[in-house]
Chain A
Amino acid sequence: MNNRIMDQAGSAYREVDGKRRQVLQLGGGMAVLAAAIAAGLIKPELAFAQDWNKAAFDTHSVADTVKALGGGAPAESKDIQIVAPDIAENGAVVPITITSNIPKTQSIAVLVEKNPNTLAASFDIPEGTDPYVQTRVKMGQTSLITALVKADGKYYFVNKEVKVTLGGCGG
């Protein structure tokens, strides 16, 4: 009886010891990471999501977003197509297809002008991938949707209005 209690105590101790070791190891890992961040090897935001462009996603107007993405004044282009419903009954799910026919398209961004944050999504198109993306976005209210395309270093855009009968933000 006594022995068993001792055994249990022993195993509990071992367990604690094991945890402590884990914690120590983890602590060591964190210290290395912290040192790397301090040394400027890894930017803190990079440690989490790979180069997520926080500045661009924090913008509140189309012009600011374009600036944050590094573009000058974009030119309107008929070579970009947005396929989206004219009237979206449910703003929480608005299907959007963007096709760019501009040669050397490098990236496609989806902007919703009247959302709390303008930039919804941005896609990098490597060579060999079609300049075509299809996704679904939320819209708080009736707004212009802007497709911003970067091709050969220049920026082009096209707008399309989508009317929303039921907003997709808030509850």
Chain B
Amino acid sequence: MAEPMKIRATMQGDKVEVKVLMNHEMETGQRKDAKGATVPAHFIQSVVATCNDKTVLSAQWGTAVSKNPFLSFRFKGGKPGDKVIITWTDNKGDKRTDEAVIAAPAA
């Protein structure tokens, strides 16, 4: 099973800034192993972020996103204490959902 993501959500003015670090090998399908056999592609295809049942970002990814992908975005309509829920799905149908509570801005 896939490793958990690291999610950080903090208020920046009236917006919520989200930073996500996912754990995924993001195999391109171009690489060959020591025996010369092609390593099959294994990568995250879709990412969906929601807050208070509203989708705040959805993404589709190809193999060119780096290993252990990093993603950052900002949205309006969240407040401290709300949850940001992020789900990814990879090309093998594997899924992972993690959530983070929005933190108050750093003083």
Q: A134 and B93: CB pair below 8 A? A: no
- Closest CB of chain B to A147's CB: distance in Å? 14
CB-based A-B contact count at 8 angstroms:
119
Name the residue of chain A whose CB is nearest to the CB of B15: A130
Interface of B is mostly: strand
- Closest CB of chain B to A51's CB: distance in Å? 8
Q: A136 and B64: CB pair below 8 A? A: no
Q: B59 and A169: CB pair below 8 A? A: no
The stretch that binds B, out of A5-13, A24-32, A121-129, A153-161, is A121-129
Q: B73 and A137: CB pair below 8 A? A: no
Interface size class for chain B?
A: 35 or more
Inter-chain CA distance A159–B55, complex, in Å, is 29
Q: B89 and A135: CB pair below 8 A? A: no
B1 at the interface (CB under 8 A from A): no
A40 at the interface (CB under 8 A from B): no
Q: A57 and B73: CB pair below 8 A? A: no
A1 at the interface (CB under 8 A from B): no
Which residues from B are CB-within-8-Å of A49? 45-46, 89-91, 93
Q: B57 and A125: CB pair below 8 A? A: yes
Known A-B contacts A129-B73, A129-B75; the reply to A124 vs B57 at CB < 8 A is yes
Could you list which residues of chain A lie within 8 angstroms of chain B, going by C-beta atoms? 48-53, 57, 92-95, 112, 115-117, 119-126, 128-130, 132-139, 168-171
Q: A136 and B91: CB pair below 8 A? A: no
Could you list which residues of chain B lie within 8 angstroms of chain A, going by C-beta atoms? 15, 26, 28, 30-32, 45-46, 48, 54-67, 69-77, 89-91, 93
Known A-B contacts A48-B91, A134-B72; the reply to A129 vs B66 at CB < 8 A is no
Most A CB within 10 A of own CB, among B31, B57, B62, B63:
B62
Q: B60 and A122: CB pair below 8 A? A: yes
Which residues from A are CB-within-8-Å of B60? 51-53, 57, 121-122
Most A CB within 10 A of own CB, among B15, B45, B60, B64:
B64
Q: A120 and B61: CB pair below 8 A? A: yes
Q: A130 and B73: CB pair below 8 A? A: yes
Q: A128 and B76: CB pair below 8 A? A: yes
